[in-house]
């Protein structure tokens, strides 16, 4: 029997799966779910968090497929906005990461537009979206649509899930606590907000910050598809499971989709944990930083 059979569950991946289950239970109407007992959670995490087997050289050994690139420096509080609270530990996922997804490797339809024309087309599309009522519940609940914003000539599009309360109030994407962490992550990549473009899978806030329903994702799809077609970014960074699943047409966990480039038309797609997830699970910031380092190296932002 291989050692893989005995590998422990990865705490971040386990937590992610549990959160997906909770979101599902909320969606199907389970009215009350007790909060986790922090002591018991810590106890179970410590049981799962055994060290990986030692290699012949005496160093901790992990499989090549699950090893993040050996990059320096390690994340710091200044780099991704908070201290990594757990001691560094090699990833111990039971499951090997998947091969890359290629959703559609054809070029984007149409022609690449000059920047001024892109801006004009995005503004026209935003006007259309602002009057959209395809999702009756979302259209009724929203204060305003949150179309997206950023540099129309960008190399990098960051693709999130949907607006929250702060975004609904201001009409701008990623302005709440998660947005502030995303700003720090972007700055750690040696970029500024003005350098990138931010958009979401749905343009209206789902009530109570629930996940968007499948029909809502489907209704709003044409808008983000058009945005990406206009922008033609070199890289799309999917923030969290909803955007990754929507773009890549996959149901795999972030733990299995991250650390490799997928493809959407001519854009390279990287999947990372959502900043809101990182706020709830600071120990996953180390993985997010490894993913961002991979992006920076590939994009030539660092050598």
- Closest among 279, 292, 288 to 255, alpha carbons compared: 288
Of residues 7, 154, 211, 219, which one binds ligand SF4 by CB under 6 A?
219
CB closer to ligand SF4 out of 6 and 27: 27
Half-sphere exposure of 194 (CA within 13 A, CB side): 0
CA distance 138 to 140: 5
The reply to whether 49 sits near ligand SF4 by the rule CB under 6 A is no
Any residues with CB less than 8 A from the CB of 200 and at least 6 apart, and which?
A: 146, 148, 159, 160, 161, 162, 163, 173, 224, 243
Considering only CA atoms, give the Rg of the chain: 20
CB closer to ligand SF4 out of 139 and 299: 139
Of residues 216, 240, 247, 257, which one binds ligand SF4 by CB under 6 A?
216
The reply to whether 126 sits near ligand SF4 by the rule CB under 6 A is no
CB closer to ligand SF4 out of 185 and 204: 204
Show the CA angle centred on residue 239, arms to residues 171 and 131, nearest 5°. 30
CB closer to ligand SF4 out of 223 and 289: 223
Near ligand SF4 in 184-213, by CB under 6 A: 202-204
Q: Which stretch binds ligand SF4 (CB under 6 A): 12-20, 48-56, 75-83, 131-139?
A: 131-139
CB closer to ligand SF4 out of 148 and 255: 148
Q: Enter the tokens of residue 100.
A: 């890359």
> Which residue shows structure tokens 């050996």?
70
CB closer to ligand SF4 out of 2 and 136: 136
- Closest among 265, 284, 268 to 276, alpha carbons compared: 284
* β-sheet with 149-150: strand ranges across: 149-150, 197-200, 156-160, 235-239, 267-272, 262-264
Any residues with CB less than 8 A from the CB of 28 and at least 6 apart, and which?
A: none
Tell the smallest beta-carbon distance from residue 234 to ligand SF4 (Å): 26
Residue 36 DSSP label: P
CB closer to ligand SF4 out of 216 and 291: 216
The reply to whether 132 sits near ligand SF4 by the rule CB under 6 A is yes
Tell the smallest beta-carbon distance from residue 202 to ligand SF4 (Å): 4
Tell the smallest beta-carbon distance from residue 110 to ligand SF4 (Å): 22
With H, G, I as helix, E, B as strand and everything else as coil, classify residue 156: strand
Size of the site for ligand SF4 (CB under 6 A): 14
Tell the smallest beta-carbon distance from residue 219 to ligand SF4 (Å): 4
Q: What residue ranges bind ligand SF4 (CB under 6 A)? A: 129, 132-135, 138-139, 145, 202-204, 216, 219-220
């Amino acid at each position: 029997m291989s050692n893989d059979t005995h590998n422990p569950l990865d705490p971040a991946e386990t937590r992610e799966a549990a959160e997906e289950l909770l979101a599902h239970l909320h969606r199907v109407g389970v009215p009350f779910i007790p909060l986790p007992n922090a002591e018991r959670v810590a106890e179970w995490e410590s049981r799962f968090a055994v060290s990986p087997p030692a290699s012949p050289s005496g160093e901790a050994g992990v499989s090549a497929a699950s090893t993040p690139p050996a990059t320096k420096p390690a994340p710091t509080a200044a780099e991704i906005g908070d201290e990594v609270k757990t001691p560094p530990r090699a990833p111990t996922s039971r499951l090997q990461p998947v091969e890359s997804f290629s959703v559609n490797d054809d070029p984007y339809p149409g022609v690449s537009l000059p920047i001024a024309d892109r801006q004009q087309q995005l503004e026209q599309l935003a006007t259309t979206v602002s009057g959209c009522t395809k999702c009756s519940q979302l259209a009724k609940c929203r204060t305003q649509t949150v179309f997206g914003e950023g540099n129309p000539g960008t190399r990098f599009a960051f693709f999130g899930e949907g607006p929250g309360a702060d975004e609904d109030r201001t009409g701008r994407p990623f302005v709440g606590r998660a947005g502030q962490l995303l700003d720090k992550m972007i700055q750690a990549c040696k970029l500024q907000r003005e350098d990138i473009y931010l958009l979401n899978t749905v343009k209206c806030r789902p009530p109570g910050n629930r996940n968007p329903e499948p029909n809502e994702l489907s209704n709003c799809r044409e808008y983000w598809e058009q945005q990406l077609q206009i922008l033609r970014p070199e890289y799309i960074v999917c923030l969290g499971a909803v955007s990754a699943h929507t773009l890549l047409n996959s149901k795999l966990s972030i733990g299995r989709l991250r650390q490799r480039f997928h493809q959407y038309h001519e854009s390279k797609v990287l999947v990372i944990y959502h900043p809101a997830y990182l706020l709830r699970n600071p120990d996953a910031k180390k993985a997010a930083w490894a993913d961002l380092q991979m992006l920076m190296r590939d994009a030539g932002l660092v050598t």
